Amino acid sequence: MIVQDTLRGFLDAIYPPICLICGRLSESLYPHCCMSCFDSFELIGDQCCELCGEPFQVRQVSHRCLACIKGRPPFKWCRGVLLYRGAVAEALSGLKYGGMIPLLDPLEDVLVSSILSLCSFPEVDLIIPVPLSFNGLWKRGFNQSYILAASVARQLGVKVHTGALGKKGNRTQVGLTAKERRKNATVSYQAGRAIDLVRGRNVLLFDDVYTTGSTVRVCARILRDAGSSVSVLTLARAVSPFDVGLFD
């Protein structure tokens, strides 16, 4: 322990524990995520649609949103753990596009500690992360959805399965309109070589962020059509620009 503390002090002197989100000195459990940023992470909880997980603008009893009443989505349950804004959005952006790997630690801890408290958490046989294309994986060096999904799998005592879905093309969803996202997702994802393994299984589809829902809906439809019962979990859920005062 003394050696570890000495080594930590030496490393901190050379590489100061600076928060990668706000740039301030970090004195929290996470060397690169200060307590102020970590405390600003906003949990969604059960203030959302009971089916698709769409966050409500005001606190109310959980029920189905208008979109789910009009048309059932291709999954039976969907939840996001954190609101995708503020420090959470900055952390995910830094992780995915800035290579800031240390930001995985606080995000992973919040995800794992929160999932079992989500209302009506489904039975899960295996977890399937949304895949990256080969070129996307080569450029980024990792699939953050796979890493986070693996943490969830360990918590639930199930396995991660990566062969059921495939990603083709290199166009990302970043910067696209909702209509463009739907079209791009439709042509970007396909059944993988091991899609038959999901038949008759309770599948938890995992992605890091739910924005318009185009990606998870396309992937969920592929898995559902292969004979599985599909639920969806995401680390973060985007907020409509009209929901500025959400939960305030």
pLDDT, tens digit, for every residue of 196-248?
A: 999 999 999 999 999 989 899 999 999 999 999 999 999 999 976 544 444 33
236: nearest Cα among 206, 194, 215, 214: 206
Say whether both 19 and 124 belong to one domain: no
Say whether both 22 and 97 belong to one domain: no
Within-domain flag for 244: no
Within-domain flag for 26: yes
Structurally, the chain folds into a number of domains equal to: 2
Task: Provide the angle, in degrees to the nearest 10, between the axes of the packed helices 144-156 and 104-114.
Answer: 40
Within-domain flag for 245: no
Query: In the prediction, which pLDDT does 180 show?
Result: 60
Higher pLDDT, 172 or 127: 127
Alpha carbon of residue 222 to chain centroid? 19
Query: In the prediction, which pLDDT does 58 show?
Result: 72
Say whether both 51 and 92 belong to one domain: yes
| CATH classification at residue 167 | 3.40.50.2020
Say whether both 10 and 127 belong to one domain: no
In the sheet that holds 159-160, the strands lie side by side as 77-84, 229-238, 202-210, 126-129, 159-160
In the beta sheet, which residues pair with residue 30?
33
Say whether both 30 and 132 belong to one domain: no
> Which whole number is the average pLDDT over 70-83?
94
Within-domain flag for 21: yes
pLDDT in tens, 162-180: 999 998 765 565 555 656 6
Query: In the prediction, which pLDDT does 14 show?
Result: 52
Say whether both 154 and 48 belong to one domain: yes
Query: In the prediction, which pLDDT does 183 show?
Result: 58
In the beta sheet, which residues pair with residue 237?
83, 210
Query: In the prediction, which pLDDT does 12 show?
Result: 53
pLDDT in tens, 31-75: 999 999 999 999 998 889 999 999 987 777 778 888 899 989 999
Within-domain flag for 248: no
Say whether both 98 and 15 belong to one domain: no
37: nearest Cα among 25, 53, 55, 51: 25
Q: Give CA separation, 220 vs 71, 81, 205, in Å.
A: 15, 19, 7
Could you tell me where the DSSP H helices lie in the chain? 2-14, 35-39, 66-70, 86-98, 104-114, 134-140, 144-156, 178-188, 214-225
Say whether both 6 and 88 belong to one domain: no
Query: In the prediction, which pLDDT does 208 show?
Result: 96
Say whether both 51 and 144 belong to one domain: yes
Say whether both 23 and 114 belong to one domain: no
Query: In the prediction, which pLDDT does 137 show?
Result: 84
> Which whole number is the average pLDDT over 73-94?
96
164 lies in which domain range?
Answer: 42-238
Say whether both 28 and 60 belong to one domain: no
Kindly tell me the burial class for residue 221, based on how many C-beta atoms sit within 10 Å of its own C-beta (0-12, 13-18, 19 or more). middle
Task: Provide the angle, in degrees to the nearest 10, between the axes of the packed helices 144-156 and 86-98.
Answer: 120
Say whether both 26 and 75 belong to one domain: no
* Of 38-42, 87-91, 186-190, 219-223, minimum mean pLDDT range: 186-190
- pTM for the full predicted model: 0.85
pLDDT in tens, 105-125: 999 999 999 987 887 899 999
Within-domain flag for 129: yes
